[in-house]
Structure 1
Amino acid sequence: MTALPEIHLPAAPLGSRVDAVVEALLQPILSGDWPPHHRLPSEHNLAGQQGVSRAVIREAIARLKSDGYVETRQGKGAFVAAAPGGNSFKLAEDSESDLLELRALIEADCAALAAERHTLADLQALRDAQAAMRRVIDKGGLGLNEDIHFHDVLAAAAHNPALRRFAAFVGRHAREAMQLARLSRLRYENRLAEIDAEHGAIVAAIAARDPAAARAAVLRHISNGLKRLGLPPRFT
């Protein structure tokens, strides 16, 4: 079970405490540490971990349930939803190119903000995520989960929780449905290294604290992804 970060806000208003717990519980859901159908710790355990009352935990769970990240089962507790965040917005009928364009616009902003706001820990997490995908590829794997994780870490480095949640939601629709086939074809064509190089350019621009270069690197990455899918690029 993934350990949650300790958050102690004894003097904060109820709304602030609930917001903090919601963000703490979202972290393992968005990162994939708590996959769909994973059972959350009990209210009692969460209250102890987060240093808040069970009433705060119940309100946080209710909010996550309303947003589609969590579902509750009578007598069994709370579980990660089958499609976390799926109640928030509907993208199922949009084309691959439209989804990738939306993803590009969101992630370009994430990268620009990350270039301005990232910590040393954020930068290390990005480098670790890139290295993890490279290791899987070197062993003959596709690196799909590692690719998704890289982009979640990128969104987290922007230090805007709302933007991160939306980026994760769009990314899930824009990547998971189409990327398996794309990565399988690219492995056959021995072109997975292109993705690694593009990730490296994003990391380098963020490390240099260059928002314009970080934004351009993401747009170039998505544009190249469109071309790899056999679709016309939308960014130059």
Structure 2
Amino acid sequence: MNPHFSPVFSGARLSDQVAEQLGAEIRQGRLVPGDKLPTEARLVEQFAVSRTVVREAVARLKSLGLVASRQGSGVFVSAKLPITPLQFAPQHAASQEAVIQMVEVRRALEAEVAALAAQRRTPQDLLAIEQAVAALDAAVQSGGDGVAEDVHFHRVIAEATRNPFLIQTLQYLSQFLYGATRVTRANEARRGDFAAEVRTEHQAILHAIQASEADAARQAAAAHMGNAIGRIQSADPMFWAQEGERLAQPLVKGLRS
């Protein structure tokens, strides 16, 4: 077994991100009991982190009973893995529910926003949307969370609708939209496949708007939000314990008000 891992970025502790990726390989059966982990040097290279970070991550996996060292041989997946049911504590479930509900609101609104933008966008609007996509990609590549850039990307699409009521509605919801985006992007940053999916989905929205294809833009935006819900639903409970619950608190308060 020769797993490939994605570099980790700032946000959550680097060692936690490394441990989560390694743990996911084990829990999902891609690394099975008895398999040897890649060498420390290989993990340093793939995750683009220091040896200290890798050692902290491996120590965390040992404390969870997922791996064990064999003197002179390396680190191996434990012969008998601990049972870790994928259940959320009540507060984590509330946080997840709040984020999903806000993304459902976004799906309803932003599908139509994208369709109208495809119909009404001017060359100046298109340039602004293209620049927003480039800024988001640059932010992620430089190690940022991309939250502000993600929100800006969707805002410039809304501005292309030329519908002041729709724009004002989104502005009113911006405090919640920003909070939901913080959670979704924090979750997506922890997995390379999630981050790649998001970029592909943004490109699909952009291409439909470039081509002035309203139906395709509507479908691409709706799919993007639907997939965001799926990514939140499949987030590792460790994510909620470490970051998700804290980031979602403004939305949880909204549920209770």
Give the C-alpha shift of residue 96 in structure 1: 2.4
Q: Which has the higher helix share?
A: 2
Measure how far apart 1:119 and its partner are. 0.2
In the alignment, structure 1 residue 188 sits paired with structure 2 residue 196: no
Question: Displacement, 1:194?
Answer: 2.0
1:151-189 deviation line (CA, Å, top 9, x unaligned) = 100100111111111123334313x22332332232221
Higher relative contact order (CA 8 A, sep 6+): 2
In structure 1, the residue matched to 2:128 is: 125
- Aligned pair 1:202/2:205, yes or no? yes
For residues 147 and 174 of structure 2, the distance between their equivalents in structure 1, rounded to whole angstroms, comes to: 12
- Bigger-Rg structure (1/2): 2
What count of residue pairs does the alignment treat as equivalent?
Answer: 138
Pairwise CA distance, 1:104: 1.1
Task: Name the amino acid aligned to 1:187.
Answer: A
Q: How big is the alpha-carbon RMSD for the aligned residues of Structure 1 and Structure 2?
A: 1.9
Could you say which residue in structure 2 is the equivalent of 1:156? Answer: 159
Deviating 4+ runs (over 6 angstroms): none
* Structure 1 stretches lacking a partner, 5+ long: 1-93, 232-236
Distance 1:184 1:97, change over 3 A: closer
Residue 138 (structure 1) aligns with = 141
Letter in 1 for 2:156: V
Which digits, 9 at most, give the CA deviation of each residue in 1:100-128, with x for residues without a partner? Answer: 11111111111111111100010110000
User: Where do residues 1-236 of structure 1 align in structure 2 (5 Å cutoff)?
Assistant: 95-174=98-177, 176-190=178-192, 191-230=194-233
Kept after mapping to 2: 8 A contact 1:126/1:150: yes
Q: Deviations over 1:173-218 (max 9, x none)?
A: 13x2233233223222123232221111111111111111010000
TM-score (norm 2): 0.50
TM-score, scaled to structure 1: 0.55
Q: Percent identity?
A: 34
Unmatched runs of 5 consecutive residues or more in structure 2: 1-96, 235-257
